[in-house]
Structure 1
Amino acid sequence: MLYWLGLVLKSHIFLFNVLRYITFRALMAVILSFFITLVLSPIFMRKVTALNRLYGGYVREDTPETHSKKKFVPSMGGLIIILSLELSSILLMRLDIAQTWIMAFTVLGFAIVGFIDDFVKLKNKKGISARSKMLGQIIVSFVSALLLYFVVHIDTNLYFPFFKSLKLDLGYFYIVFIMLVLIATSNAVNLTDGLDGLAIVPAMTTAFALGIISYVAGNAILAKYLEIHYVENAGELAVFAMAVVGAGLGFLWFNSFPAQMFMGDVGSLGLGAALGM
């Protein structure tokens, strides 16, 4: 949204020209998502803590006994992370490219699956069944894969880093590959989550690294120089990746030891999907 605002206003106020640059918008994504998370988290914690006490609290089965006293700590803090990611992407990414909307849809879809599980856990400590959760992930990842394949017309070649000519064309199997990556990364983050700050820190560092790679892959000059496959509009994904970093920093303020809230499945599945994309 701000990208187009910059294009309109740059002829009147030259300063708005900076909104064209991915690097500036990526920096703004870090700052914006950080402050959104920092401001909304205290409000969220008060509301959800009261809800947790109403239903008797919740702790994961694999949580150490020393952490059982945290059963009233809000466990759906990932809602704030996802909200800040979606708002930052709408404001700072280009809205005329399909990748922006597919990214937003995928993250939101996985987050909804996680939210349903978290909400059910308030009454039923086991949450929804593993089969139901997996079915939800399969549906969302399948739709995302179809959109990438038929709308974006994504390159179906699988490229191997540092090997310039080594590639494997997966054809229609690329749809299955996308699904596997999304489901694997989302569940990887979900399995990592459990202790104070355990999941959000590696999620941030991974997002930062992927953001750099996305920027390089989306820049024709840098991609050619570093012998990385050029991907049109990939640079815009760097803005989203930096939003993950900013939201993660804001969340870590409340999630570091002793944690005042946890991200829950809504956050871990949503973040995992973001990293997978």
Structure 2
Amino acid sequence: MNTIFFMKHITYIFLVIAFWSCSNETADDATTENALDASKYYEALNVTYGADEDQKFDLYLPANRSMNTKIMVLVHGGGWSSGDKSDMNLIKGLIQQDFPEIAIVNINYRLADENNQPYPMQIDDITSIINYLKDNDEYYTISNDLGFIGISAGAHLSLLWSYGFDSNKNVDMVCSIVGPTNFTDPAYLNNANPDLQELLDLYGTNPEISYLEETSPYHRATDLSPPTILFYGGQDPLIPTTQGTDMRDKLESLGVTHEFTLYPDAGHGWTGLELLDTWTKLKAFIEIHLN
């Protein structure tokens, strides 16, 4: 579920703005300094929130922010076992360009392997980051209101955390671009794609159905789930169409505000007018729910 194919084509349509000054800090630094000057733009790269080398995030705070400044969390893909926050830099640039008043957190999380399953490890990492931001909201001058944009495996994590782990209901919106939603889907349980199965095996070679339900946004959604926007490709070899349509139907049945777009001829990523359509719809969704 690599995001490189999707992300590299964003440059065909959009120009990404130049970035400003940067700094480095650890998560502990914020609690030992005076509050930042909220009138100035602030950027901190590779903020450390744990002992693992992957437990880092990049933070971008707009100038003239207040305790009402909302946060967009970006979650990269890579099949839960690869990828990097740098894969989301183009989307980060688009948000800075079109939503300069929104703070951005672009995260890395511990990557899964044969000895470390994605769940709950990666969800725990997201929780650690969100708790850190809450603990330091006055230092950074930001609110606790969140949005999520995830691609592929990152979209799965974004949906799962927003539906199942946002105990304070701080998530105002979540976006899934080609994200898995339901590991109990027959299209997954009965698949014959060895590449896909290798990724699914990260969750165990013979997992219990109850475990698959626990790790599936489809089964964690409730009528209190945040507004959700979904994008899928009809020819995606890794994400069956039912991963999108079933999630759409579940949200509809629960009465959750949602939008759904299926590009019938697209795969695990798209270019051209379809990509322009994605950003146009996502931009409008952000304007309504996180602005």
Fold conserved between structures, TM > 0.5: no
Greater per-residue helix proportion: 1
Structure label with greater radius of gyration: 1
Name which structure has the greater RCO, CA cutoff 8 Å, separation 6+: 1
TM-score with structure 2 setting the length: 0.26
